[in-house]
Homo-oligomer: A and B are copies of this chain.
Amino acid sequence: MSRTRIHNFSISLDGFATGEPQSLEAPFGHAGQRLHTWMMRTQSWDPDGSDGVDNAYAERHGPGIGAEIMGANKFGPPGWHEDPDWKGWWGPNPPFHTPVFVLTHHTRPPLEMEGGNVFHFLEASPAEALETARAAADGKDVRIGGGATVVRDFLAAGLVDHMHLVQVPIVLGRGVRLWDGLEGVEEAFDVETVASPSGVTHFTFTRKTS
């Protein structure tokens, strides 16, 4: 069974998955890199990084994934769609290595890059996008890559099977919140919580088998 998974999705204590304003210079706004410092200090990111619980979670990002779905604001800064040469933040060989489906109201032709990365741009409901991505994933799982708006929409639509969240002990105060409109979302999941010595808290939400 192909599942829908979320990994390494990082939020502040007050539930923001990004700061503001988002820009080319500061993709996470005033949050800077603070939401992801925990990940950049693991071996998944840095050969000299840690290999403890943070890395155990971090390295689950790739295996078993056959496609990613992301939002327009993860793909680029405000206004990227006015730049025909914008190819994402990640250089010539992005770290996805699968088809990637960018949800956007500004569609454009597919963009093929190195390393098996092909970006497709589509305007579709979460359920439709998932169906498309699943077909492309060739029996593997589909990752919902963020940002907050897209993760929230997939949770609200009941489409997520497994979600790994990382709560960073900072209060951002502003940005885009994950939890808005998700009252009671935990009822469909078994929730497990692990505090890391690094100071972050890992949550896994695994869909209950009914």
Given contacts A13-B15, A15-B13, contact A171 B193 (CB under 8 A): no
A18 to B: closest C-beta gap in Å:
14
A177 to B: closest C-beta gap in Å:
8
Given contacts A13-B15, A14-B15, contact A183 B171 (CB under 8 A): yes
A154 CB-CB contact with B under 8 Å: no
Contact B169 A191 (CB under 8 A): yes
A179 to B: closest C-beta gap in Å:
4
A7-29 vs B, CB cutoff 8 Å, 1 = contact: the mask equals: 00000011100000000000000
Contact B186 A169 (CB under 8 A): yes
In the complex, chain B residues whose CB is within 8 Å of the CB of A174: 183
A67 CB-CB contact with B under 8 Å: no
| Interface SS of chain A | loop
**What is the size, in residues, of chain A's interface with B at 8 Å between Cβ atoms?**
26
Please measure, in the bound complex, the distance between the C-alpha atom of A193 and the C-alpha atom of B13, giving whole angstroms.
12
A123 to B: closest C-beta gap in Å:
28
A184 CB-CB contact with B under 8 Å: yes
A199 CB-CB contact with B under 8 Å: yes
Q: CB < 8 Å: which of B183, B194, B195, B200 contacts A172? A: B183
A201 CB-CB contact with B under 8 Å: yes
Please measure, in the bound complex, the distance between the C-alpha atom of A170 and the C-alpha atom of B14, giving whole angstroms.
14
Q: CB < 8 Å: which of B171, B179, B194 contacts A171? A: B179
Contact A186 B13 (CB under 8 A): yes
Please measure, in the bound complex, the distance between the C-alpha atom of A177 and the C-alpha atom of B180, giving whole angstroms.
12
> Can you list 30 A-B pairs, Cβ within 8 angstroms, ordered by A?
A13-B15, A13-B179, A13-B186, A14-B15, A14-B177, A14-B179, A14-B180, A15-B15, A169-B186, A169-B191, A169-B193, A169-B203, A170-B184, A170-B186, A171-B179, A171-B182, A171-B183, A171-B184, A171-B185, A171-B186, A172-B183, A173-B179, A173-B181, A173-B184, A193-B195, A193-B199, A194-B195, A195-B195, A195-B201, A201-B201
